[in-house]
Amino acid sequence: MGSDAGSNPAPGAASVAGEDTDALARLRAGIDAIDSKLLGLLNERAQICADIGHLKGRGPVYRPEREAQVLDRLAAANDGPLPDAHLRQVFIEIMGACRALEAPLTVAYLGPPGTYSEDAVVRQFGALVARHACATFDDVFREVEAGSAHYGVVPVENSTEGAVGRTLDLLLATPLTVTGEVLLPIHHCLMSNEAGLASVERVYSHSQSLGQCVRWLNQNLPRAERVPVVSNAEA
């Protein structure tokens, strides 16, 4: 008896479920209609960018100051609910895709793939840009100076360890100029196969990251050896 009673729907339950389904279908149809409009507008924007590329000829494809103006204008006009940070990233990808129609770009950065430098490349140029991982800061500069890459992304300073000395030395010696800036939040994680901190004997990381985490390491792993490596991705 209890089982039978529990299986019977409450009065009006079927109609409510049907109304919810109808409402969901209408909302999804609205999204589909908006997506169709967006598709047309995106292709219209892409065509205009391609036309601009033809007018520029051999002029620079990437204009960071112009892209910053576009992003700032859109953020100022944004009434939500989409947060400004999300809006910016959406339009960075749109601009990156349209930029590729003018001329594909290659960006050199300190590798291997997965470094904070690669994250900065994606934030600045979009995920579609061609990326070339380099072994050292010097290699990044050499790639751009030789024309193998159009741009290079290197860390210049951080809020805890200050300036990155090797980058500053290279900037003083190169004919290249700084064309843009990326502000990148950094969050470090300690990863290990060990069950607890007491079993950790060595910590591998980039020297800058070891410096950023020195207080935590002193408090939690004072006896662990700190081994600097070329990048955190290598660690």
The tens-digit pLDDT sequence of the chain (235 residues) is: 444 545 555 555 555 556 688 888 999 999 999 999 999 999 999 999 888 888 877 777 788 888 889 999 999 999 989 999 999 999 999 998 888 887 788 999 998 898 889 999 999 998 889 999 998 899 999 999 999 999 999 999 877 777 888 899 999 999 999 988 888 888 888 888 877 888 888 999 988 888 889 999 999 999 989 999 877 777 7
Instruction: Kindly give the interhelix angle for 116-125 and 84-102, rounded to the nearest 10 degrees.
Output: 80
Is 186 exposed, middle or buried, given 0-12, 13-18 or 19+ CB atoms closer than 10 A?
Answer: middle
How many other CB atoms are found less than 10 A from the CB of residue 159?
7
pTM: 0.71
Q: Determine the pLDDT at residue 1.
A: 42
Q: Determine the pLDDT at residue 31.
A: 95
Specify the pairing of strand 130-134 against strand 106-110. Answer: parallel
- The structure tokens listed for 207 are 């020297």
Q: Is the separation of the CB atoms in 123 and 68 below 8 Å?
A: no
Q: DSSP state, 10?
A: P
d(CA 74, CA 85): 11
Q: Is the separation of the CB atoms in 112 and 231 below 8 Å?
A: yes
Name which of 52, 224, 60 is nearest 150 in CA terms.
60
The residue assigned the tokens 């990044």 is 140
Q: CA torsion sign, 61 to 154 to 139 to 94?
A: negative
Domains and CATH numbers, the chain: 19-101 (1.20.59.10), 104-185 (3.40.190.10), 187-235 (3.40.190.10)
198: helix, strand or coil: helix
- The structure tokens listed for 14 are 């079927």
69: helix, strand or coil: helix
132: helix, strand or coil: strand
